[in-house]
Structure formats: structure tokens, C-alpha cells
Amino acid sequence: MNFSHRSFTFLLLAICLPLAICKGQQYTRIHADFSNKIKTASGGQSLTMGQVFYDRNIKQLIYYVTFPEKETWVTSDTVVYQIKDDKLISKTATFSMAEFTVFHLALNSHLQDFGLKNTRYIAGDVQREGDLVITTWAPPEKASEKLGNILVSVKSKQLFGVIFQDPQGVIIRKQFFEDYQLINGLAFPGKIIEINISNGIESYQVTSYKNVVVDEMENDSKYFYNTSGLRL
């Protein structure tokens, strides 16, 4: 799998992840060990491991990959940089992601509603299914031809699952959040399962987080990467 596909797909996970249950407090930094397993519809598999760092004031999402080979991935503003041996390998344009990553939303206690309260999506139907509370969020009318509904389920006041539909109501993506950890009052899922569906065929990603640290005072250099001098 090439970098641009692999990294972009993986980084998209960050848009819709953990949940801070301590709503009165905002945190600044988070880092963790991560592993990301991908299984494509064609049977291909890949494993990526390393550490991830994020500071909500700097708004750079930095992955220090250690396996399968040492690399650094930096998402800054609307660009994803792939760096190896201090040299820029690729530079990929993306949409502005920082404020919608799992890390940013968790640090700001905005994940119970998947951060949708801060968008133009509109909360609609609310249903209960067992111990789940499921809210259907509709896109703004002007965007309804391109965007579908998002269904957000909450269990025990924690984000449990997110289902994405296309404008015709067909499910195109699912995410599930498991094994929550409580770190200094911040609840963060230890496992995120993502299922992408295309033409009825499913591909899977499983991302695990361990050794999560919140608001550490050390490792300042890990939270910022100077990209100004990077050239292809």
C-alpha cells in the first residue's frame, strides 16, 4: 500500500475517536503508543506501529513510526508530510484536520457528540436500542446532495459507534470504540475498529492505543516539527 493512501486513510481515523467524560476540564497534550492493522477487501494486510503526539495549541499531529520502518508523519494545517532520515519523502494535500482529530476533540471534551455540535450538521431523531442512545445527525440542506446522515451512538455516556451514510442512505463507513482507559480524568478508547464499505465490500482497520499520557511536561520537541525548510 503506498504512503498517500495508507497514511491518509489511517489519519482519517483521528476525525472520529475517543471521549472525554470530564466536561469541566480541558487538557493540552496527549501522546500514546499506537498500532494500526489494516486488512483490505482484496486480502492485503499491513501493520504500522510507533508513537503519536498532539498538542491542541500547536495543532500538529505527529506520528513517529517505528515499524515497518522508521518514518515521521506530520499533519500540519492542510498538508501531510512523510519524512525519513530527516528528508522529505512526500507531501500530500488534505483538508484541515487538526481541530477534528480524535486527539483534539478528546482534549476539548467534544467527543460524546463526535464533535458534530460544532459543525453545521443538525441533530434530529434520537432512539434507544438497549443500552445505546442513537442520534441521527443530518447535513445542512445545501450539502445534502453530497453528504449523508451520521448516526452517533453513546453507551454509558461514552462514544460507542459512528455510522456514515451516503446521500441515498447507504452505509459507507462504521467505527466502534472499545476498551476505554481513564487517564487523569480523560477517557480514551484503547481500541478503534473502522469498517469501510465500497460496493458492498468491506475493508478493516484496527487501531490500538497503549501507554497514553495526558498533559506531560516533558518531551516538548516531540510535539512540534519545523516543516518550513522541508522540500521535495
List, for residues 169-179, the tens digit of each pLDDT value. Answer: 999 999 999 99
For 138-167, what is each residue's pLDDT tens digit? 999 999 999 999 999 999 999 999 999 999
Indicate the number of domains in the chain: 1
Mean pLDDT, residues 106-134 taken together: 92
- Identify whether the C-beta of residue 222 lies closer than 8 Å to the C-beta of residue 53: yes
| CB-facing half-sphere around the CA of 19: CA atoms within 13 A | 23
Residue 191 in any domain: the answer is yes
Which of 88, 108, 85, 83 has the alpha carbon at shortest distance from 29?
108
% of the chain surpassing 70 pLDDT: 89
Mean pLDDT, residues 190-194 taken together: 94
Categorize the per-residue pLDDT at 3 as very low, low, confident or very high, splitting at 50, 70 and 90: very low
Cβ within 8 Å of residue 220, ≥6 positions away: none
Separation between Cα atoms, residue 42 and residue 201, nearest integer Å: 9
pLDDT value, residue 43: 86
Residue 139 in any domain: the answer is no
Q: What is the CATH number of the domain that holds 199?
A: 2.50.20
Domain extent for 58: 3-113+176-215
Residue 232 in any domain: the answer is no
Residue 60 in any domain: the answer is yes
